[in-house]
Amino acid sequence: MMRSLLFVPGDSERKLLKAGSSGADALILDLEDSVAQSRKADARQTVAGYLDSAKGQSKTPRLVVRINALDTGLTDDDLGAIVRGAPAAILLPKASCGADIQDLSARLSVHEADAGLPEGQIAIHALMTETAAGMLAAASFASKSARLEAVAWGAEDLAADIGAASNRDETGRYTDVFRLARSLTILAAAHCAVEAIDTVFTDFRDSEGLERECHAAVRDGFSGKMAIHPDQVAVINTAFTPAPEDVERAVRILALFAAAGPGAGVLSLDGKMIDKPHLRQAERVARRAGLEPGSLPDLG
């Protein structure tokens, strides 16, 4: 379960060490936007060292590395430095279409082989709305690689790509293009059967605004949210953790369908009819609560 994914500059050893105790479910070790061009090589070495040091630790956040985009000429240098450290996933920025996922997957296979890792061990996360091309090709991300684990959206790079002066209006609400990017991410995630990750909330001092945005993300189908500051992690984790009553209802629905067998259609719970959409929603709540198949509690 990845409720919170905290960005950490890859060239800051101090911030990397501090981030491990932030409570984030995942750390995004950044080699891209937060690292100056002159510091790219140093960042690769620092991130590689951090990955190596994390291998012997029993409790660490899930480690994701954001590499530089495929059109920068830096991708293979990034992968050559960090794949041997076996990160859980690679975050691909500015993914323009499903072919980019295939491209990255093929490159990962080569680097995994060089590092002696099983092919396919490292997953892919895609930032798919940072360019107009990525938005327009949202449907193409499906079925391109079994490595694809999550898709996320970004508002800052998209604003630069389309020439928008701002991504929010005077009330603080995202403008139409950016609401579309958000919606396409949810739809693409469902189409690809992967997790949908909400974008960062840049005003890290506004915890109330962050909380509102988190609850809206949960409501609309996102499974987690990226963070730019450690202080945002607790707010995100709380918002994306299902309430106990929701978990209990989900477990009851799962138990009913399990008892009814694979051919079950419409069932009754508390005097109301439930069917397969309710089952899928219950499965989603159970995943968000960290319940694995076969480990559901007995409600008697």
SS (H, E, C) 43-84: HHHHHHHHHHHHCCCCCCCEEEEECCCHHHCCHHHHHHHHHH
The yes-or-no verdict on residue 297 having pLDDT over 60 is no
> CA-to-CA distance for 137 and 146, rounded, in angstroms?
18
Task: Specify the 3-state DSSP secondary structure of 250.
Answer: helix
> CA-to-CA distance for 113 and 92, rounded, in angstroms?
20
Tokens of 259: 């008892």
> CA-to-CA distance for 156 and 164, rounded, in angstroms?
10
* Residues 20-47: tens digit of each pLDDT: 999 999 999 999 999 999 999 999 999 9
| HSE-CB of 112 using CA atoms within 13 angstroms | 19
Note if 275 is an active site residue.
Answer: yes
Q: Which of 52, 71, 231, 275 is catalytic?
A: 275
Between 152 and 296, the more confident residue is: 152
> CA-to-CA distance for 141 and 103, rounded, in angstroms?
12
CB contact at 8 A, 127 and 154: yes
pLDDT score, position 299: 46
Neighbours of 240 (CB within 10 A): 22
The yes-or-no verdict on residue 300 having pLDDT over 50 is no
> How are the residues of the chain apportioned to helix, strand and coil, as percentages rounded to the nearest 5?
50, 15, 35
When pLDDT is cut at 50, 70 and 90, the band that residue 243 belongs to is: confident
Domain 4-240 annotated CATH 3.20.20.60 = yes
Region(s) of the chain under CATH 3.20.20.60:
4-240
Pairing of strands 62-66, 267-269: unpaired
The yes-or-no verdict on residue 129 having pLDDT over 70 is yes
